[in-house]
């Protein structure tokens, strides 16, 4: 039966397409970084050049996203199912969704300036996926053969995408406000400070990170609820203190604490930013180390 529905040859072709997307993303990363350096030192006569560099970087990132989308779709066709049933597929689909959310959000110039950060992170995710997480296409285990795989995991991917953009904004905030940047006396640090001056104010960065985290938290709450419903269908219990269930709840708790502290306790600045980044670190840990090194009913790395 597997030979009729699984197509490893097409899967290998999709891998080549993903490598091609990575090559384009690499070009976008360098052009975007060069754009930032030029924007930091530009004079009025160079504003047109800076604008062109930004458009070229975004065009390359968009091309990379379209190629990546083709690779993800080909993987899904090769597997005869949605392409997010193992850690490799989750990573490539998550990278695609992050880029889609980014392009939907770039009407705001404060988000557009994050292109270097976002594309760099996507390259890291894809590089890890193809070098460490890759597995051949395989049929779904019985517990995953449900429409809840589409609903539950897709919402988790969307939440992770919003958390990722919030994390990029938070990292920009920390770099912009770092003491070693403010007090730096070497030429290299002074140049870096000029680059960070191109970014929005620290207040705007924090505000945007908070908004992206709110959306991510709402989606993650649905992820938690949908996971419990799926668990009842698959194992006849809503909650079993499985490793993945526990970590999903830990992530929800961290972000709930972040939003509560920000809204009612007046937490702002570096304290709030660091708490949001701790939440994002928990997300990354959940989808990498928990899947790879922990045992449980929800561990679907495929490795």
| Of the listed ranges 106-110, 121-125, 203-207, 255-259, the one predicted with least confidence | 106-110
Q: How much is the average pLDDT of 229-241?
A: 81
What pLDDT does residue 183 have?
Answer: 75
Q: How much is the average pLDDT of 268-293?
A: 91
Cα(55)–Cα(176) distance, rounded to whole angstroms?
24
| Residue 265 pLDDT greater than 80, yes or no | no
Helices (H) and strands (E) in the chain, counts: 13, 0
| Of the listed ranges 47-56, 109-118, 141-150, the one predicted with least confidence | 141-150
Q: How many residues does the chain have?
A: 303
| Of the listed ranges 148-157, 167-176, 289-298, the one predicted with least confidence | 289-298
What pLDDT does residue 301 have?
Answer: 54
Query: pLDDT band at residue 232, thresholds of 50, 70 and 90?
Result: confident
Report whether 122 contacts 142 (CB < 8 A): no
pLDDT tens column, 65-124: 999 999 999 999 999 899 998 899 999 999 999 999 999 999 888 899 999 999 999 999
What is the overall mean pLDDT for the chain? 89
What pLDDT does residue 138 have?
Answer: 85
What pLDDT does residue 303 have?
Answer: 59
| Of the listed ranges 9-23, 134-148, 239-253, the one predicted with least confidence | 134-148
Highest mean pLDDT among 20-34, 181-195, 256-270: 20-34
Cα(224)–Cα(219) distance, rounded to whole angstroms?
9
Q: How much is the average pLDDT of 46-64?
A: 90
Query: pLDDT band at residue 1, thresholds of 50, 70 and 90?
Result: very low
Cα(41)–Cα(221) distance, rounded to whole angstroms?
44
Q: Which of 223, 227, 91 is nearest to 146 (CA)?
A: 227
Q: How much is the average pLDDT of 35-45?
A: 75
Conformation bin of residue 236: beta by default, left when phi > 0, alpha when psi is -120 to 50: left
Q: What percent of the chain has pLDDT over 90?
A: 60
* Domain residue limits, the chain: 1-139, 143-303
Token pair of 204 as six digits = 């705007």
Token pair of 6 as six digits = 């699984």
Q: How much is the average pLDDT of 173-197?
A: 84
Query: pLDDT band at residue 50, thresholds of 50, 70 and 90?
Result: confident
Residue 38 CA: distances (Å) to CA of 35, 45, 182, 218, 269: 5, 12, 20, 38, 29
Token pair of 198 as six digits = 């191109």
Determine what percent of the chain falls in helix, strand and coil, rounding each to the nearest 5.
Answer: 80, 0, 20
- pTM for this model (two decimals): 0.91
Cα(124)–Cα(61) distance, rounded to whole angstroms?
15
What pLDDT does residue 296 have?
Answer: 63
């Amino acid at each position: 039966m597997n030979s009729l529905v699984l197509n490893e040859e097409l899967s290998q072709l999709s891998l080549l397409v993903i490598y091609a997307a990575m090559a384009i993303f690499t070009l976008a990363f360098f052009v975007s970084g060069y754009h930032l350096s030029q924007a930091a030192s530009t004079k009025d006569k160079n504003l047109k050049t800076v604008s062109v560099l930004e458009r070229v970087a975004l065009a390359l990132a968009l091309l990379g996203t379209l190629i990546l989308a083709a690779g993800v779709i080909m993987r899904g066709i090769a597997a005869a199912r949605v392409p997010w049933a193992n850690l490799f597929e989750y990573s490539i689909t998550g990278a695609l969704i992050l880029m889609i959310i980014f392009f939907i959000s770039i009407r705001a110039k404060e988000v557009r300036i994050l292109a270097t950060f976002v594309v760099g992170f996507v390259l890291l995710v894809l590089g890890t996926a193809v070098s460490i997480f890759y597995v051949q296409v395989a049929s779904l285990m019985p517990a995953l053969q449900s429409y809840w795989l589409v609903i539950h995991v897709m919402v988790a991917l969307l939440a992770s995408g919003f958390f990722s953009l919030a994390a990029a904004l938070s990292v920009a905030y920390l770099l912009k406000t770092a003491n070693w940047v403010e007090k730096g006396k070497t030429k290299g640090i002074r140049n870096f400070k000029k680059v960070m001056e191109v970014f929005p104010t620290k207040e705007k960065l924090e505000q945007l990170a908070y908004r992206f985290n709110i959306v991510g938290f709402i989606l993650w709450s649905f992820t938690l609820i949908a996971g419990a419903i799926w668990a009842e269908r698959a194992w006849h219990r809503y909650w079993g203190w499985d490793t993945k269930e526990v970590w999903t709840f830990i992530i929800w708790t961290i972000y709930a604490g972040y939003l509560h502290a920000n809204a009612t306790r007046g937490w702002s600045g570096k304290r709030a930013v660091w708490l949001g980044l701790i939440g994002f670190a928990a997300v990354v840990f959940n989808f990498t180390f928990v899947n790879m090194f922990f045992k449980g009913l929800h561990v679907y790395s495929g490795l």
